[in-house]
Structures are given as C-alpha cells and as structure tokens.
A and B are shown apart, each in its own frame.
Chain A
Amino acid sequence: MAIATGPNVVGATANELPSPALLMRMFRTMTRIRVFEERLADLVEKGGINTPCHLYIGQEAIATGVCTALNDDDYVWGGHRSHGHYLAKGGDMRAMIAEIYGKATGCSKGRGGSMHLFAGQVGILGTVPLVAATIPLAVGSALASKLRADGKVSVSFFGDGAVEEGHFHESVNIAALYRLPVIFVCENNLYASHLSLAERRLKDNIEKAGEVHGVPAERIDGNDVLGVHETASRAVERARRGLGPSLIECRTYRWRGHVGPSWDMDVGVKRKDELSEWLSRDPVKRVHKMLSEVIGETELQAVTNDVQTEVDDAISFALESAYPDASELRQYVFYKGGAPE
C-alpha cells in the first residue's frame, strides 16, 4: 500500500482568513503546545520526569483547529498523547506540568501523570492511555447532552491505531443511529507505536469508516490549522443542529517517538525520509508565515517570548510544589462529591 504523505486531501484551507484575533489565538495556542512539548522533551532527556510522556510535537494544528471551533463548556476526550488537547481546550499549564512531575498540585493530584489529564472546568472530561477507550465515553457525554438538550458538543480525539479497535466501530454506529452531537477526530500520524499504517491496514481508507456507518467524513490536511478549524466548525454546527456526528481524518505526522523525546529513526521502513518531508510541513511555521504577513514579526515574537515565560513559570511552579503525602495513597478510590454539571 502506498501511503499518501502529501496533502492529497480534501477540505482545503478556507478562502477567507478568520479574524486577526482568532488567528492570533491559534498562533498562541500552537506556540504554547510547541514550546511546552520541546521543553518537556529536554526535561525528560535530562532525567527527573518518570511518567511516560507521549509528545504532541508536529500535530499542534489539529488540537488547535478543533478546539478553537468549540465553546468552553463543550466536552473533549483524549488519549495518551493529549498534552496538546489539554492546552488547546484551556487547561492550566501549571497544573499539567505539576501532574507530569507527580506533584500534589497537578491536574490529577499526582494520580494521573502525563497520560491521565483532567480539567472539568474547561470541559476536558478525561484523557486516558487505553487506546480508543474514550471514544465510547465521548458518545456517552454526547448522549447526555442530547437527553438534557444542553446544546453541548463532544469531541473525541484518537489516533489511527484506535480505528483498529472495536470501540471505534461500535461507537460510530451508535452515534450515527441516535444522531448524537459528537465529532470523531482521528489524528492519523501514520504510526501506532512502532508500526506504520501500511503494516496494520491493507487499505489507507480510515475516512471511509464514516460512509459505512452513515456519518459524513472527510480526510483533511492535519497540519493546516485553518483547514482543520473550518472543517471542525462545520462538524460542530452540524452537531449543534441535531444532525448527528462527523468523522474527520486529519493527516499529520508524529515527529518524535511513540513515547519520549527520541526522533524514533529505528522504526518504520521509511521513517527518515518521511520525517524530513514532514518537518518541511511544520504546522507552527505555516501559521507563523501566514501571520507574519498579516500581523508582523514583532508581535509574533512577543507572543513567543510570552509563551516562553509562561512555560518557565509553570516549570518553576511544578518544581516548587510538594509531592502528595504517602498517607493519602488510598484517597480518591471512590468519589465523594456530587455529580458534576
């Protein structure tokens, strides 16, 4: 099977640019993810971070394009590679890096690490590493929204490996059957752990899963934040109007290894060639280039400087925070509070 690595995709960038404010928001979000993840990669390499970190570098346009199409109270569910989803939806950076360091101030109070992130106040209901596990859960929050008529949309972010799980197919069928307000976002970064797509599927046709279940589906360039945003916005509108789910296959590339900071040259038959090709399609550089024409380099540099300060501050916060006390090991096995809204 020949895997298309180029942007031979539909759902191209919208003809009209969004407002400068939205563009700047996208640039800031993508920069926050990129700078955070690059710093994290360095910290992991240096030692001192033990929780497995699956880096989102190279895929920033997807979380950003989708989450800028959502309201604060819409729901997002993720997987093992979800630092980007957390930041894009508005999760607190300090709480995430503290969580990664295993601190009591972490977003999951030191019980989650990198792979279990939660930020209920901005609609992140959970990210967990069991592949495909949150796909049915997203169908469930969409079912809740439909029963309550609360107008919220649920987004499920997952990778190309998750499509190989039964969870995915059962969930898409159920969402289609009940016309649930859920958007299935497949981030096809061409690898599931160490195996390339061609080693796991006879056909390169993930987006066809939509048609089979009666769900509109598109394959788009996942490194084009405007294209992602535009496609996601249409899916959100469709969901809010009660017309049901959508499937979006975003073609992208995982720059680093499945887990950790390495560049992962030892896996996949063509990994090295692929990587150099995909590095040239850097989603952050693309939006930077577009914006430097509209907004100017000085302002963009100011954003980048800002973000670097924010990341420094977050890391300091995490390092200064206390670890959870061993006496609290058994705390939180059962939930004590009332159900969240």
Chain B
Amino acid sequence: MTRQLSYAQAIREAFAQLLENDPRVFVFGQGLWSPWYVGSSMQDLDKEFGRHRIIDSPVSENATTGAAVGAAIAGMRPIVVHPRMDFMLLAVDPIVNQAANWSYMFGGQVGAPVVIRGMVNRGGEQGAQHSQAMQAMFAHVPGIKVVMPSTPYDAKGLLIAAVQDGNPIMYIDDRWLYQEQGPVPEEMYSVPIGAATVRQSGTAATVVCSSYMTVEGSKAARMLAESGIDVEVIDLRSVKPWDQSLILESVRKTGRLVVADTGWITCGIAAEIAATIGSAAFEYLKAPIERVCLPDVPAPTSGALEKAYFVGSEQIVSAVQKVISHNSRH
C-alpha cells in the first residue's frame, strides 16, 4: 500500500522537495518560523533549508508579495505564503496588477513565475475577516491560474506543478483539510493544472466540487447511495483554468448538474461553471443547474449563525434531490 500522509504533511513534503531540487525556490511570508502559525505544513523547513530561503517576513503583505513577484521576474521561483487569505487582500496590487499582467504587458518576453499560497482558515467563530475563500476574485483575472487541492496527493502534486509552471499561480489550501489522510508517493511528481478528476462515478447526477467541498460532496454521495441514488463526484482541483471537457462528458451522461464551491454564490466559481455548461450542454440537461455556495453574507462569529452560514453535505443532498426530481422537458 502506498504511504499515507496527511494533507498538511503532503504540503510540507512538496516544499521540501522543491527546495531540495531547485536553488531558485525560496519561501517568503508571515509565520514561517513559528511552530504553530501555518499548521504543520511548514514545520522546521527553516531549520532544514536555512532562514535565508525560508524567510519569515515583516507584516507587509503588499511589499513581500511584490518582492516575490520581482524576484520571480528576475529569475527566481518564489513561493509567498499568506497564512490567511483575508490578509492577502492587502497584496492585490502585486498579484492582480503586476504578476497576472506581466507576461502580456511585455509581449510574452518575460514571465512572473511566482506561487502565491493563500490559506483558507475559517470556522471556529473567527468571523468575517478570518474566514474568506476568495478564489473567484482571482480566477476572474486573466494571466493567473488558481488551484485548490482537496487530497494529500493533489496538495503535493499541485504545489510542485505550480512552481514548475512558470506563470503566476494562486495555490489555495483549506485548513479544514489538513487532517485528511491519503496516499502520497515519496517521489517528486506533479498533478496537471487544469485537470479535474472523478472521485466517484455515478449516473444520477454530476456533483462538481472545489477544494473542501469535495469532502462534503463525497459524504453527500454516500448519503444518497443509501437511497439508491448514485451521483458522480468531480473534484475540480483547478478552478482556473477548469476542466470543461471532463465536466461536459459527465453532464452528457447524467443530464443533471450540481456545483458546490467554498465561496460566495454571486459571481462565483459555481456561477461560471453553470453558465458555461448551460451553454455548451443545453440539449443534455434534464434539469436546471443547482449551486451550493455560501450565501452573500460575511462570515458570522456565533456558532449558531455559523451553522446556518456554512454549507456542506446536507445542502448538496438537497440540491441533488432537487435536480433529480425536476420534471424533464426533454
């Protein structure tokens, strides 16, 4: 049996192998020398590779991200770590205006091969500024790719792919996934950016999930299986570019689509997928596409409200039941 690692351990292993194999790689961000700040996903990397390559930075998201972008343009392969994505918003200029545009603005003569790791760290009554999953904002921007692994295998393989890609990549990991266990090969490998994967095949409906919603989607699939409904669960892995052909193939088979994302509903990843599939597979659809996303509300703190705010397997089950019970016009 392949070795099992947690999601956090898999991320750490990717960092270690990247640092070991490419002298251009260095890591810049807050909390990197702390044993607790970024979970166990960076533990002791500074001791192993030196504090000149694992740089715990001042509280300056804008300048540290900008410096990473500049170092990338000058030939390095930096990874910037934002232990909370909410704080990363202070660095939108270097990400959106600079890194994302750099290749295009200069006619493809130079790239900005920077990886920006934004951690989603929510729940636990942390509230509006310690909870946000902003993938849709960044997926909106041309010139940047956005990946969101949900398994330990992908957490490692997508981080390696991101560094090797040569373009600005936003790598979004969710701390709700850190304890997930799964098989992770010891060697260095990459997972292709832009390729989704089928986590469970089925015929009743297609459930497309991003990041942590894949865990909830799989749970929903088990619940639905008890009532004899076999859904196909697809893990997006990359939200920009996203795997249109795999989802189309599945929807042509099932005729019903539910998209579950960790972000807000309006202008979100699920909206984009619904619009595209609605247009490309209209004649195959037997029911309107359903979205399972966060309501357009900031994250609350009180546990009572959090329960009402976050969505998961229950909402996915309801959405699947809705698309299945829809009376087909075909």
The contact of B71 among A111, A135, A144, A177, by CB within 8 Å, is A144
A68 interfacial by beta-carbon distance below 8 Å: no
CA distance A329 to B134 in the complex (A): 28
Q: Which listed residue (A128, A144, A171, A334) contacts B76, Cβ 8 A?
A: A144
Instruction: Tell me the complex Cα distance, A167–B97, Å.
Output: 13
**0/1 string, A64-103, CB within 8 A of B gives 1:** 0000000000010100000000000000000000000000
Residue numbers in A under 8 Å from B142 (CB-CB): 333
- Are A147 and B53 CB-contacts (below 8 A) given A133-B97, A137-B67, A171-B67? yes
Knowing A133-B94, A140-B73, A341-B75, say if A126 contacts B108 (CB, 8 Å).
Answer: no
Within 8 Å of chain A (Cβ to Cβ): is B62? Answer: yes
Tell me how many residues of A have a C-beta within 8 Å of chain B: 51
**Cβ of B71 and Cβ of A141 under 8 Å apart?**
yes
Q: From A166, which residue of chain B is reached at the shortest CB distance?
A: B62
The residue of chain B having its C-beta at the shortest distance from the C-beta of A178 within the complex is B55
Interface readout for B59-93 with A: 1 if CB under 8 Å, 0 if not?
A: 01011111111111111111000000000000001
Question: A112 in the interface, Cβ–Cβ < 8 Å?
Answer: yes
Q: Are B93 and A75 within 8 A (Cβ)?
A: no
Q: Which of A158-215 contact B (CB under 8 A)?
A: 166-167, 170-171, 173-174, 177-178
**Interface pair A331/B108, CB less than 8 Å apart:** yes
A174 to B111, CA, bound (A): 24
Which segment, of B98-106, B245-253, B263-271, faces chain A?
Answer: B98-106
B103 near A334 (CB under 8 angstroms)?
Answer: yes
With A116-B105, A126-B106 as given contacts, are A139 and B67 in contact (CB-CB < 8 Å)? yes
The answer on a CB contact under 8 Å between A136 and B105 is no
Contact with B along A134-155 (1 / 0, CB 8 A): 1111111111110110000010
* B166 on the A face (CB < 8 A): yes
Docked Cα-Cα span, A64 to B58, in Å, equals 34
**B113 CB within 8 Å of chain A:** yes
B70 touches A140 (CB 8 A): yes
Interface residues of A in 203-232 (CB under 8 A from B): none
Complex alpha-carbon distance, A135 and B72, angstroms: 14
Residues of A within 8 A of B143 (CB): 333-334
Contact with B along A101-119 (1 / 0, CB 8 A): 0000011111110001010
Q: Which residues of B contact A (CB under 8 A)?
A: 24, 26, 52-53, 55, 57-58, 60, 62-78, 93-94, 97-98, 102-113, 142-143, 166-167
| Interface residues of A, Cβ cutoff 8 Å to B | 75, 77, 106-112, 116, 118, 120, 125-126, 128, 130, 133-145, 147-148, 154, 166-167, 170-171, 173-174, 177-178, 331-341
With A170-B64, A339-B24 given, can you name 14 additional A-B contacts, CB distance below 8 Å? A75-B74, A109-B108, A118-B109, A133-B98, A137-B94, A140-B68, A140-B71, A144-B70, A147-B53, A334-B103, A334-B111, A335-B102, A337-B166, A339-B76
9 closest A-B pairs by beta carbon, nearest first, are A140-B70, A136-B66, A335-B111, A109-B107, A137-B70, A170-B63, A332-B108, A140-B67, A170-B60
